[in-house]
Amino acid sequence: MKTKFTLTTLSTLLSLATAGFAASSGPVFYGDAPDEHHPWAVHDGNRPQPKIVTPGTFSSAEQPGKPPSDAIILFDGTDLSKWETDKGAPAPWIVSNGYMQVAPGKGAIRTKEKFGDCQLHIEWAAPAKVEGSSQGRGNSGMFLMNMLEIQILDSYNNLTYADGHAGAYYGINPPMANAVRPPGEWQMYDIVFRRPIYKDGKVVDPGYVTVLVNGVLVQDHTMLEGGGTHMARTKPGPFPAKGPLSLQDHGNPMRFRNIWYRELPLRASEGGTDGWLSTEATMAKRAEIAASIRQDAAKLANPDKPLPEMLRLMESLPYEKDDAALQKVEQMAGQYVENLKKLPADKLAAKKDEAKNVAAAFKYLVRFNALPATFAPKTALDQVIKDQGWDKKK
């Protein structure tokens, strides 16, 4: 991070001036301005802060970790109240000693809750006593949105087809590594899932899945190609908006614990405002930010101390060209320079830093076409600075 002295000073001036209103979290008139794909400037102090999440703890062989504070818990080891059969009946699996176990032959279970994009955590263990081989050994699976299977399999010293191993996007993409622990030990999956987005029958985002097995990356933003299934090739296509998470009964007494997910924010392609936005979405967001800053500026109105309002209003200009705001800035800025010029020498000298910072703000706004290059108050203020010799380095 590089901070110029003058801009830091201006930021301090502003944060003092705006105390009690929207606090700026960074220097203003600083980084590259909003453009047609980014509604915020670089290092934009008006950009919302990330939400606070208290992290959880990692799991160990002995005990499951603690989920992060915003996780939605699907199974905490105590009961199956959040689960049901695929017919909506109570989940018939066994709960014991902090885990749930497949009741072979009783069928898959799914969450009552439906959800889409997520960060998902799940832990599982295959029976310690090895029985069967290949796909017949320690097989289950998790169906994200009840659509695609991320394979759960006792892959430890177990030869099977590559796209059927633990961590496979079943039938479509093998895991990049076989990172499972021996049977009987707890295994951890962490998944980032983005569903496909279609608009008017055309793909906007094919959707992706990322999987870590015991902390080892095995699916790296793998593009979705439909559900993936046994023997048949599936094709990309739209998913429903939401779906349940389903766990497979493949006839083996597999165990599960510590299942939770976190909702993910919308992607830019579906109305989110972070990332590379369409020009239309960017301009709409910029107008919204500008309106909010103009409202904020109005709250700062004070005939005895007009500078904070003027600076805040100036701050709105790079987001949206607004004639009324521009005219008001021009009028206030003209008055500001006129008042400066009327000051006696000692009082003017005390305004040196402030005036130079206002001039730097004008320069920034001209550089990003938020003010015309011929902006009269800028020319006049630059002249004052020159006349006073404030432009010279000591």
Longest dimension (CA), the chain: 95
141 vs 171, which CB is nearer to Mg ion?
A: 141
Tell which residue, 33, 71, 36, has the closest CA to residue 54: 71
- Determine contact, residues 111/257, Cβ cutoff 8 Å: no
Q: Give the three-class secondary structure for 254.
A: coil
Q: Give the three-class secondary structure for 187.
A: strand
Retrieve residue 303's tokens: 């005939």
Cα–Cα distances in Å, from 187 out to 96, 184, 302? Answer: 18, 9, 63
141 vs 167, which CB is nearer to Mg ion?
A: 141
Other Cβ atoms closer than 10 A to 161: 12
- Interacting stretch for Mg ion, rule CB under 5 A, among 240-248, 311-319, 331-339, 380-388? 240-248
- Nearest distance, CB of residue 178 and Mg ion, angstroms: 15
Q: How many residues bind to Mg ion according to rule CB under 5 A?
A: 3
139 vs 316, which CB is nearer to Mg ion?
A: 139
170 vs 362, which CB is nearer to Mg ion?
A: 170
Candidate list 27, 67, 141, 207; residue touching Mg ion; CB under 5 A: 141
The CA distance from 236 to 117, in Å, is 17
- Interacting stretch for Mg ion, rule CB under 5 A, among 4-12, 86-94, 136-144, 325-333? 136-144
104 vs 271, which CB is nearer to Mg ion?
A: 104
Residues 6+ apart with CB under 8 A from 224: 148, 195, 196, 206, 207, 208, 209, 236
- Interacting stretch for Mg ion, rule CB under 5 A, among 113-121, 134-142, 186-194, 357-365? 134-142
Retrieve residue 311's tokens: 């600076």
- Nearest distance, CB of residue 136 and Mg ion, angstroms: 11
Buried b / exposed e over 304-327, threshold 16 CB at 10 Å, is: eebbbbbbbbbbbbbbbebeebbe
- Interacting stretch for Mg ion, rule CB under 5 A, among 140-148, 296-304, 305-313, 335-343? 140-148
Tokens 């630059």 belong to which residue?
382
Tell which residue, 194, 316, 265, has the closest CA to residue 50: 265
Judged by phi (left if over 0) then psi (alpha if -120 to 50, else beta), residue 319 lies in alpha
- Nearest distance, CB of residue 288 and Mg ion, angstroms: 46
- Nearest distance, CB of residue 281 and Mg ion, angstroms: 40
4 vs 106, which CB is nearer to Mg ion?
A: 106
- Nearest distance, CB of residue 248 and Mg ion, angstroms: 5
Q: Give the three-class secondary structure for 126.
A: coil
- Nearest distance, CB of residue 190 and Mg ion, angstroms: 18
132 vs 306, which CB is nearer to Mg ion?
A: 132
Q: Give the three-class secondary structure for 155.
A: coil
- Nearest distance, CB of residue 120 and Mg ion, angstroms: 16
Tell which residue, 290, 263, 267, 288, has the closest CA to residue 277: 267
- Nearest distance, CB of residue 153 and Mg ion, angstroms: 6
Determine the residue with CB nearest Mg ion: 141
> Mask 241-270, x = binds Mg ion (CB under 5 A)?
-------x----------------------
- Interacting stretch for Mg ion, rule CB under 5 A, among 29-37, 133-141, 303-311, 334-342? 133-141
Binding status of residue 171 toward Mg ion by CB under 5 A: no
Where does this chain bind Mg ion (CB under 5 A)?
139, 141, 248
